[in-house]
Amino acid sequence: MAFLTDRKRATGMGSAKTGTEHHWQMMVTSVALLILTPLFIFTFGSILGSSYDEVIAYYQRPFPAVVAILTMLVGFFHYRLGVQTLIEDYVHGFARKVAIIGMICLSYAAAAFAIFAIVRIAL
């Protein structure tokens, strides 16, 4: 703590200036997933094993579709934050930048495909 200036102590920011924000984002997405994951399991589990037409009709209702979309959005955002922390801790140099950019693109692409599939089923 001897290396922190009074301003850094007051604003809660260390040398990277995003650690507190990153931590809070991880905590908020964790709590959101604590709520969304059981909802998703119950909504998805209740239709599991049904025919194609029943699944399409089920996901055309707003609640299961919204729960699935929110779970995918929050889940992939939480994934991005966690993997970014791992990359920042264990990868160094130019490879770090490439890995972070690749991981961000991968997580956003996966979220977009998941949401596109749910919206296509729902509409």
Domain ranges of the chain: 21-122
pTM beyond cutoff 0.85: no
Cα Rg, the chain, nearest whole Å: 19
Distance CA 109, CA 90 (A): 24
List, for residues 41-60, the tens digit of each pLDDT value: 999 999 999 999 999 999 99
| Residue type, position 3, single letter | F
Give Cβ neighbours of residue 77 (< 8 Å, ≥ 6 apart). 25, 29, 107, 111
Question: Which numeric CATH code is attached to 21-122?
Answer: 1.20.1300.10
Q: Please report, in tens digits, the pLDDT of each residue of the chain (123 residues total).
A: 567 677 666 665 556 667 788 889 999 999 999 999 999 999 999 999 999 999 999 999 999 999 999 999 999 999 999 999 999 999 999 999 999 999 999 999 999 999 999 999 998
**What size, in residues, is the chain?**
123
